[in-house]
Amino acid sequence: METKLEQHIIKPADRMTGLPTQFFAKLVAKANAQVAKGRDVINLGQGNPDQPTPPHIVAKLQEAAANPMYHRYPPFSGYPFLKEAVAKRYKEDYNVDIDPTTEVAILFGGKTGLVEISQCLLNPGDVCLVPDPGYPDYWSGVALAGADMHFMPLTAENRFLPDYSAIDEAALKRAKLMFMNYPNNPTGAVANADFYAQTVEFARRTGVVVASDFAYGAIGFDGERPVSFLQTPGAKEVGIEFYTLSKSYNMAGWRVGFALGNSQIISLINLMQDHYYCSLFGGIQEAAAEALTGPQQCVTELNATYERRREALFGALARIGWKAERPGGSFFCWLPVPEGYTSESFADLVLQEADVVVAPGVGFGSFGEGYVRLGLLTSEARLEEAVERIGKLGIFKA
């Protein structure tokens, strides 16, 4: 006679149960449910670039994949030629001098570094200053480190920049790390040189390390190139910047990013990664170097594409009477929800009634309430169609 074995109980570590809820998993599930019904859904709620990687980068990977040298383990911290390539790009684009041997860490995508830096710098009981609204994966690294978060409100009145003078003194005494992100996800706001100078002064005064998320650094509008934090005098003394090829070169699936700046922090990230990884496949590293050092017309053209889409979207918004500020950078638009709705109830309405996915602002933090985020990640015609569908609901008045 077969004996029934007792179920073996698996108890996860505390750090697993303390991870933040993935708000956007719920959004994806709602969208997929509509698609499963055969609905023509226009998804403007996610941040996944819709264009292919430029052909010359793909060709370089195809060539490099046949190189037997890359079939072995790569150097733990990556090939020097890729670090030299990103240093060259920063010099050309921002006139920032980067030492490729000590001031560059190669990452498995920018997201990895954004999680790792909290684990490198924070202990339980330490505080991380986090923008609200902001990219939710900042929260993940803080949770894994067992540290606490103190949110810095980003409001329209302050151009979606943090007000350092308003940070609670008790939290500031425990703060060791601060995230900032311009061009900003989700608001599309940009930061100027004066703001970064204030940031360096704030970091020096408080001892807080600055983590600048520059994921959308290549995407700026109205003839303005986004400013890098590392262009600021003293920036490398107080922090680092995260850069990624995902947005600049439509290489989101390739998972190539960098941490740049303060050599002590870079060495900590490299040490952390020595225990996690053995760096990226060499063929991808060679293709990434080609992206950074090869023709940059593809970046210019991509930026122009997003600007055309922005104009198409805001033209359509004006026609239905939905008033909002144009973003200065990134491929996101931050739009106020109409009176009588929360960000989530409005997002549910336009999904159910117009088959349009938008991201509720509350998913980026409590100060995101009252807004929804739209991505410029489909054609101008589809952006206009999405707005027209919402207009037919009769919520806005032209």
More confident of the two residues 3 and 350:
350
Number of C-beta neighbours around residue 317 at 10 A: 22
Q: Are 358 and 347 in contact (CB under 8 A)?
A: yes
Q: How many CB atoms lie within 10 A of CB 233?
A: 10
**The two structure tokens encoding residue 248:** 């600049």
Range 31-36 contact pairs with CB under 8 angstroms and sequence separation of 24 or more: 31/351, 31/357, 34/351, 34/352, 34/355
pLDDT for res 4: 64
Averaged over 111-130, what is the pLDDT? 97
Q: What is the pLDDT of residues 199-258, one digit of tens each?
A: 999 999 999 999 999 999 999 999 999 999 999 999 999 999 999 999 999 999 999 999
C-alpha to C-alpha distance for 246 and 110, rounded to whole angstroms: 8
Which tokens is 352 given?
């159910």
Tokens of 191: 């930061």
Three-state SS string over 353-383 comes to HHCEECEEHHHHCHHHCCEEEEECCCCHHHH
DSSP assignment string, 41-63: -EE-S-----SPPPHHHHHHHHH
Judged by DSSP in three states, 153 sits in strand
Nearest partner of 291 among 353, 243, 347, judged by Cα: 243
Question: How does pLDDT run across 156-188, given as a tens digit for each residue?
Answer: 999 999 999 999 999 999 999 999 999 999 999
Q: Give the global pTM.
A: 0.94
Ordered structural domains, the chain, with CATH? 14-52+298-391 (3.90.1150.10), 72-293 (3.40.640.10)
Query: Does the pLDDT value for residue 6 go beyond 80?
Result: no
Per-residue pLDDT tens digits for 287-334:
999 999 999 999 999 999 999 999 999 999 999 999 999 999 999 999
Residues ≥6 apart with Cβ < 8 Å to 271: 120
Q: What is the mean pLDDT of the chain?
A: 95
Cα distances (angstroms) measured from residue 341 to each of 177, 336, 344, 374, 395: 35, 10, 8, 17, 11
The pLDDT of residue 5 is 66
Residues 6+ apart with CB under 8 A from 243: 86, 90, 110, 214, 215, 217, 257, 258, 260
